[in-house]
Amino acid sequence: MMAGMPKFIRTLRILAASALLVGMVAIVPGSATAQPTHRDRAESGGLDRAALHRGLAAIPAAGAPGALAAVRSGPAGWQGAAGIAELSNARPMRPHMRHRIGSITKTFVATTLLQLVQEGRIGLDDPVGRWLPELVPGEIGQRVTVRMLLNHTSGIGNYTDALLTSLTAVIELQTARFTPTELAAIGLAMPRTGEPGERFSYSNTNYILAGLLIERVTGTDVVTEVDRRILRPLRLADTYFPGAEARIRGPHAGAYFAALGVRDFGTYDMSWAWAAGELVSTMEDLNTFFRALLGGRLLSARTLEQMLTTVPMDPQVPQAGRYGLGIYSLDLPCGTFWGHDGGVIGQLTLSLHSRDGVRQVSTGVNMSHYQIPVPGEAHPIDAAWVGFAGTALCPASAMTTARTAMLPTLPAITALSSVTAPTSTASATPLR
């Protein structure tokens, strides 16, 4: 749940729009996997499993400790992992490991709130102040609507920019406890990023307020509502809000914050993220969720259409994508895909899906904030990860090869611009 515009996904968008998705993983050092035959691809539902293995292996080869993924093409599925899950004992990464998914939590929360909208219990264009007058009073409370929270056009400041101001703060946040109202108050006290409804400006505060709206409307906590409306009906047994549990339940990887070396942040109090980014999940659970969502199992056709109505994330950069209500669209060489990305201290996730749910990829890495800006180049990990996503989603006919030297100047993914690094060469990035 990095602050500001989602930097990783903006990198992916620009690379995709520049048709540079796959050449980055054409050569993987040490890869001896044979190319699959036409018969192999047919029997695997069109999935090029050898290429997926190579593509995923390229991510740790580029410098990440480990990576994991789940890919689907129609009824065919593939899960894979590469590299190291835990540096202290060289434990290997496994496909079914649970992972902190950061801002992908927003899609779950938006879906829950939209169910309340279609039940007639709250309106998308209701002023937030009607429901939370004590927290969002006055003019802002009357001008900011529920819709503006969900599509990040409220103009309300992003509270994580105030929380994560130094590497010391990153360490202190590991054991800090916050209430949702405390987080909302921090964001509401920050300078506004624009007039209500004026433009997209990513803010985690919007989804803290969305979580509080769910609780005000239902009289129950947001964890209970997401569980009974989404997790249990879809049998997402590996997806949960950790609450006061700092350690991830069950099999999971470490979480490495590159600016602090090999220190493992896998145990981390996530109360600072709550409805904006607290969820733990698996890559397979994410694919199941988005397939159900885009397939109309969770929302009516009319409500889903509202969810998929978008605003530009950056009008000056059309390829940066468009944001709906807790979900965004991204144009790749082989079509438009929907999903979200997420990042917390030490773990990053990307989940993208065709509108019909036929092609899906969810993938994560167990390191964050590794970028050292180099003019004209993407970080090798970013290039490998983007290449894997392209391999998973786009058929060979839509792919074009390109040298990494041809990459345009791009912002670092999840660039920690608001966190002071200890040395001039360490990465500096904010959370979203």
pLDDT in tens, 377-406: 678 999 999 999 999 999 764 544 333 322
Chain-centroid distance, C-alpha 353 = 13
pLDDT of residue 395: 73
Residue 430 falls inside a structural domain: no
For the segment 286-344, what is each residue's pLDDT rounded down to a tens digit? 999 999 999 999 999 999 999 999 999 998 887 789 999 999 999 988 999 999 999 99
CA distance 133 to 149: 15
CA distance 112 to 24: 38
pLDDT of residue 262: 83
Name 311's bridge partners.
Answer: 323
Provide the pLDDT confidence category of residue 430 given band limits of 50, 70 and 90. Answer: very low
CA distance 215 to 245: 21
Does the annotation mark 351 as catalytic?
no
Chain-centroid distance, C-alpha 148 = 20
Q: What does the buried/exposed string (b/e) look like for 189-211 if buried means 16 or more CB atoms within 10 Å of the residue's CB?
A: ebeebeebeeebbbbbbbbbbbb
Total structural domains in the chain?
A: 1
- CA–CA–CA angle 218, 183, 97 (5° rounding): 80
Average pLDDT over residues 407-418: 30
CA distance 311 to 293: 20
Reply yes or no on whether the pLDDT at 6 is more than 80: no
Phi, psi of 347 (to 5 degrees): -140, 135
Q: Contact 328/340 with Cβ under 8 angstroms?
A: yes
Residue 312 backbone zone (phi > 0: left; psi -120 to 50: alpha; other: beta): beta
More confident: 411 or 100: 100
pLDDT of residue 8: 53
Reply yes or no on whether the pLDDT at 13 is more than 80: no
For the segment 46-92, what is each residue's pLDDT rounded down to a tens digit? 789 999 999 999 999 999 999 999 999 999 999 999 999 999 999 99
Provide the pLDDT confidence category of residue 29 given band limits of 50, 70 and 90. Answer: very low
Residue 413 falls inside a structural domain: no
Catalytic residue among 18, 73, 103, 424: 103
CA distance 38 to 378: 33
pLDDT of residue 344: 94
pLDDT of residue 104: 97
Residue 414 falls inside a structural domain: no
Reply yes or no on whether the pLDDT at 112 is more than 90: yes
pTM: 0.87
pLDDT of residue 1: 62
Average pLDDT over residues 231-250: 96
pLDDT of residue 378: 77
Query: In the numeric block, which tokens belong to residue 268?
Result: 């981390």
Q: What's 289's domain CATH number? A: 3.40.710.10
Residue 363 falls inside a structural domain: yes
Please state, as a whole number, how many other Cβ atoms lie within 10 Å of the Cβ of residue 365: 31
Residue 132 falls inside a structural domain: yes
Please report, rounded to a whole number, the percentage of residues in the chain having pLDDT higher than 90. Answer: 72
Q: Which of 218-222, 271-275, 374-378 has the lowest mean pLDDT?
A: 374-378
Provide the pLDDT confidence category of residue 7 given band limits of 50, 70 and 90. Answer: low
Please state, as a whole number, how many other Cβ atoms lie within 10 Å of the Cβ of residue 227: 18
Rounded to the nearest integer, the mean pLDDT of the chain is: 84
For the segment 171-184, what is each residue's pLDDT rounded down to a tens digit? 999 999 999 999 99
pLDDT of residue 173: 94
Average pLDDT over residues 126-131: 98
Place of tokens 């599509």: 151
Domain hosting residue 382, numbered range: 7-26+43-406
pLDDT of residue 320: 82
Average pLDDT over residues 199-225: 97
Residue 190 falls inside a structural domain: yes
Residue 420 falls inside a structural domain: no
CA distance 362 to 56: 12
Q: What does the buried/exposed string (b/e) look like for 2-25 if buried means 16 or more CB atoms within 10 Å of the residue's CB?
A: bbbbbbbbbbbbbbbbbbbbbbbb
pLDDT of residue 27: 27
Q: What is the DSSP letter of 295?
A: T
Provide the pLDDT confidence category of residue 98 given band limits of 50, 70 and 90. Answer: very high
Reply yes or no on whether the pLDDT at 199 is more than 60: yes
Residue 167 falls inside a structural domain: yes
pLDDT of residue 297: 97
Query: In the numeric block, which tokens belong to residue 261?
Result: 């070396």
